Amino acid sequence: MGNTLELIKTEIRDLLPYKIDETCCPIKLDANENPYPLPDELREKVNKALSEVLLNRYPDPDARELKGLISHWLSVPEEFLMLGNGSDELIQAILIATSWGSPTVVVPSPTFSMYKITGLAVGHRVLEIPLDKSFDIDPAAVIDACGRERAKVVFLSTPNNPTGNRFSDDKVLEVVKGSHALVVVDEAYGDFSGKTLVPYLKENMNLIILKTLSKIGMAGLRLGIMAANPDLINELDKVRLPYNINSLSQAVAAVLLNNMDAINGQIDAIIPERERVYRALRDLDGVTPYPSEANFILFKVRDADDLHKRLVEKGILIRNLNRPGRLENCMRVTVGTPEENGALLGAMAKLLINA
């Protein structure tokens, strides 16, 4: 057994896996999903589209219909697009394509952990640049690290997971223009900030933008979107596995993209709830929430492990991020429906008074 496992590369054996909390709770606010199910009329359209899928045939390898709809939705020409089985797959494709020589990837800290996990798995050295007191980036420090380490890729999640803040366009563009690395601007939560760097794609060859349908209501579909200059897309597309977007996802996503009003209505309901939850958390004794432009809020408490355990006992699951350093006693809660948010705030108020 020992010998067999030695066939696996050390970097992978040393990795801590990406942990997904599978605790079952009626109120699930841990994974930054959209809390609203599909409206009934859309569900009917989805069922019809699914019934027409030819499951004995491979999917369209280039997902042309879907790309056309996404091109229209994002105002990006089709040749600027590559689709992935979730944006996780696109992060992996970028890291595989750049894992030559002695590759280094630069990431802020704290940020979305899959950049580091996948980077290490495919052979990158990972350089973490701490965010400042307000969880903002220091563009000069990032540019300096890229130059010194000859980094091939930088990941900037903006709004950043798990801190929720969006880095300013000026700071991100300073990194794009000041470094030779590919700068991946991950806008997984961009729909909740209403802002995007998509208009800057054409003039910046090293800029890659990632988006996903996961946070706005379609996490089960697994559809991630990469936008970048066509020459770069052509190279990255060579890493993509054939037929990576299955027929069922292609069919359902097409229906949803043709009916974005329903989804936009849900996003418009989540944003004011985020502000309400932020204010209510701020009013709780011993709770410090951080401002968010995403669909979740990071907050600090006195004892995150204890609060997490007690919330689970009450059937409410949020993400416990407690670890030494900047996230000590920090928790992340996804903005849910008004009822779910009310239940969370009510439970927290009681638990913190009795703590």
- Report if residue 196 touches ligand PMP, rule: CB under 6 A: no
Q: Which residue from 209, 174, 204 is spatially nearest to 189, judged by alpha carbons? A: 209
Residue 25 near residue 209, CB atoms below 8 Å: no
Q: How far is the CB of 185 from ligand PMP (least distance, A)?
A: 10
- Report if residue 118 touches ligand PMP, rule: CB under 6 A: no
From 67-75, 81-89, 236-244, 282-290, give the range in contact with ligand PMP by CB under 6 A: 81-89
- Report if residue 104 touches ligand PMP, rule: CB under 6 A: no
Distance separating alpha carbons of residues 280 and 297, to the nearest angstrom: 12
Q: Which residue from 297, 273, 275 is spatially nearest to 287, judged by alpha carbons? A: 297
Distance separating alpha carbons of residues 321 and 330, to the nearest angstrom: 5
Helix, strand, coil shares, percent, the chain, to 5: 45, 15, 40
Q: How far is the CB of 2 from ligand PMP (least distance, A)?
A: 34
Residue with the two structure tokens 């006992």: 313
> 214, 244, 250, 292: which one contacts ligand PMP (CB under 6 A)?
214
> 35, 164, 190, 224: which one contacts ligand PMP (CB under 6 A)?
224
From 72-80, 85-93, 174-182, 244-252, give the range in contact with ligand PMP by CB under 6 A: 85-93
- Report if residue 87 touches ligand PMP, rule: CB under 6 A: yes
**What's the CA angle centered on 266, arms 265 and 269, to 5 degrees?**
90
Q: How far is the CB of 306 from ligand PMP (least distance, A)?
A: 25
- Report if residue 112 touches ligand PMP, rule: CB under 6 A: yes
> 98, 118, 157, 193: which one contacts ligand PMP (CB under 6 A)?
157
Which whole-number Å values give the CA distances from 309 to 145, 306, 331, in the listed order? 39, 5, 12
- Report if residue 212 touches ligand PMP, rule: CB under 6 A: yes
Number of amino acids touching ligand PMP (CB under 6 A): 13
Q: How far is the CB of 188 from ligand PMP (least distance, A)?
A: 4
Distance separating alpha carbons of residues 211 and 186, to the nearest angstrom: 6
Residue 117 near residue 94, CB atoms below 8 Å: no
Judged on CB neighbours under 10 Å (0-12, 13-18, 19+), 151 is buried
- Report if residue 186 touches ligand PMP, rule: CB under 6 A: yes
Q: Give the Cβ contact number of residue 71 at 10 Å.
A: 16
From 4-12, 82-90, 119-127, 335-343, give the range in contact with ligand PMP by CB under 6 A: 82-90
51 φ, ψ to 5°? -70, -20
> Cα dihedral angle (46, 48, 53, 54), rounded to 10 degrees?
160
- Report if residue 110 touches ligand PMP, rule: CB under 6 A: no
Q: How far is the CB of 220 from ligand PMP (least distance, A)?
A: 10
Q: How far is the CB of 212 from ligand PMP (least distance, A)?
A: 3
Distance separating alpha carbons of residues 120 and 118, to the nearest angstrom: 5
Q: How far is the CB of 198 from ligand PMP (least distance, A)?
A: 16
- Report if residue 201 touches ligand PMP, rule: CB under 6 A: no
> 81, 173, 184, 188: which one contacts ligand PMP (CB under 6 A)?
188
Q: Which residues bind ligand PMP (CB under 6 A)?
A: 32, 86-88, 112, 157, 161, 186, 188, 212, 214, 219, 224
